[in-house]
């Protein structure tokens, strides 16, 4: 294989890796919520609001709220808030008359780039006894998604370096 073709292949590969890094960074992570994860409330909320980092599609998002016994307590009306110009806000309303206890909010979204993300959080109302432990997958740590693109950029740089070396060998 001629060295020039090898150099070209390295460059193309570098471009591909870089393009992948761009898409990977576009996942829509949970930024904030109302109620907040782990919140202890005096009375049950009537509505759940979740705010994400990237634009979401109008359909394909789901918020499900369950009580400690696993019964669904939301009205199944997950909506992308069209009043939010950034299209990053999801809401769902809750059934009335919810008593004391721990509730779990499970969510799944569909971002504008076609990727799904999911997670869960919990809150408790009034005289709740014990809070359910929520795993590390619940709320992504801020900036957690940055490590992958950074690694990809480093890989791109290495591959470009490889292309340069092949080129020099070809020029000799």
Give the binding site for Cu ion (CB under 5 A).
26-27, 113, 115
104, 66 Cβ separation under 8 angstroms: yes
Question: For residues 95 and 115, which CB has a smaller minimum distance to Cu ion in the complex?
Answer: 115
- What minimum distance in Å lies between the beta carbon of 55 and Cu ion? 11
Residue 30: exposed, middle, or buried by beta-carbon count in 10 A (0-12, 13-18, 19+)?
Answer: buried
- What minimum distance in Å lies between the beta carbon of 106 and Cu ion? 20
CA distance 61 to 52: 12
Question: For residues 39 and 112, which CB has a smaller minimum distance to Cu ion in the complex?
Answer: 112
- What minimum distance in Å lies between the beta carbon of 139 and Cu ion? 18
Question: For residues 27 and 87, which CB has a smaller minimum distance to Cu ion in the complex?
Answer: 27
- What minimum distance in Å lies between the beta carbon of 26 and Cu ion? 4
- What minimum distance in Å lies between the beta carbon of 86 and Cu ion? 16
Question: For residues 67 and 113, which CB has a smaller minimum distance to Cu ion in the complex?
Answer: 113
Peptide bond into 35 cis (omega under 30): yes
For residue 45, how many other CB atoms are within 10 A of its CB? Answer: 17
Q: Which position's Cβ is nearest Cu ion?
A: 115
91, 78 Cβ separation under 8 angstroms: yes
For residue 94 the two structure tokens come to: 């809750």
Question: For residues 27 and 73, which CB has a smaller minimum distance to Cu ion in the complex?
Answer: 27
62-66 and 89-93: which strand pairing? unpaired
For residue 86, how many other CB atoms are within 10 A of its CB? Answer: 12
């Amino acid at each position: 294989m001629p060295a020039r073709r090898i150099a070209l292949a390295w460059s193309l590969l570098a471009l591909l890796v870089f393009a992948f890094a761009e898409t990977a960074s576009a996942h829509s992570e949970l930024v904030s919520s109302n109620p907040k994860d782990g919140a202890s409330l005096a009375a049950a909320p009537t509505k759940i609001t979740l705010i994400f980092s990237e634009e979401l599609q109008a359909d394909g998002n789901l918020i499900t709220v369950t009580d400690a016994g696993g019964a669904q307590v939301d009205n199944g009306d997950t909506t992308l808030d069209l009043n939010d110009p950034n299209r990053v806000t999801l809401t769902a309303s809750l059934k009335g008359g919810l008593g004391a206890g721990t509730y779990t909010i499970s969510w799944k979204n569909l971002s504008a780039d076609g990727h799904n993300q999911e997670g869960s959080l919990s809150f408790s109302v009034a005289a709740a006894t014990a809070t359910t432990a929520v795993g590390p997958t619940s709320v992504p740590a801020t900036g957690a998604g940055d490590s992958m693109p950074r690694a990809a950029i480093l890989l791109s740089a290495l591959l470009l370096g490889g292309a340069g070396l092949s080129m020099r060998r070809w020029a000799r």
